[in-house]
């Protein structure tokens, strides 16, 4: 009986920790728009017409999608701007996030291919600036030419 009481007390204590600590508060990432220019497009990405089916994601530092744009047919050589119409939430204001641009394979042979991604930034960085400019990098963090300008919705 004593053992059962101790187990019940332990379970109650552990469940109370969840209620007392609560879930972490999410922080707003105040992104109004994302502009990309001069991105190097890998060979073989373009469709037969020379265009790409592009979409943009805001990701956390390990590559998990936080927000994704619609897919658009685009000339890969042209600069473009994507509007972020809804509020984006991140785990904390100091969590590193990045912007990634992908080509969606319309032939369904390889899924989506990364074109480029930005260097990381935080919600705090964006809340204190009108805009941020980050260099474009590949999946190994090497600069590839081009840049991303992230415009703040907080200003």
- Domain extents in the chain: 27-152
Q: From 51, 68, 102, 79, select the one nearest 149 (Cα to Cα).
A: 79
Q: From 135, 130, 124, select the one nearest 40 (Cα to Cα).
A: 135
Quote the longest CA-to-CA distance of the chain: 76
User: What are the pLDDT digits (tens) for 62-101?
Assistant: 999 999 999 998 888 889 999 999 889 999 999 999 999 9
What is residue 14's predicted lDDT score, i.e. its pLDDT?
A: 45
Residues of the chain where predicted confidence (pLDDT) is lower than 50:
4, 6-7, 9, 11-20
d(CA 38, CA 76): 9
Percentage of the chain modeled with pLDDT above 90 = 49
Class in CATH terms, 27-152? mainly beta
The phi, psi pair for 125, rounded to 5°, reads: -55, -45
Torsion (CA) 71, 42, 134, 30 in degrees, nearest 10: 10
């Amino acid at each position: 009986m004593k053992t059962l009481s101790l187990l019940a007390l332990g379970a109650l204590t552990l469940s109370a920790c969840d209620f007392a600590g609560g879930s972490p508060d999410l922080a707003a990432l105040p992104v109004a728009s994302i502009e990309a220019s001069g991105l190097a497009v890998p060979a073989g990405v373009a469709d037969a017409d020379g265009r790409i089916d592009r979409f943009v994601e805001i990701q956390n530092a390990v590559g998990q999608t936080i927000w994704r744009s619609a897919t658009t047919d685009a000339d890969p050589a042209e600069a473009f701007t994507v509007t972020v119409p809804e509020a984006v939430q991140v785990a904390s204001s100091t969590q590193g996030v990045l912007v990634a641009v992908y080509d969606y394979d319309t032939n369904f042979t390889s899924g989506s291919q990364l074109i480029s991604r930005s260097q990381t930034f935080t919600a705090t960085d964006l809340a204190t600036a009108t805009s941020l400019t980050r260099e474009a990098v590949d999946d190994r963090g090497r600069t590839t030419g081009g840049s991303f300008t992230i415009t703040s919705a907080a200003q």
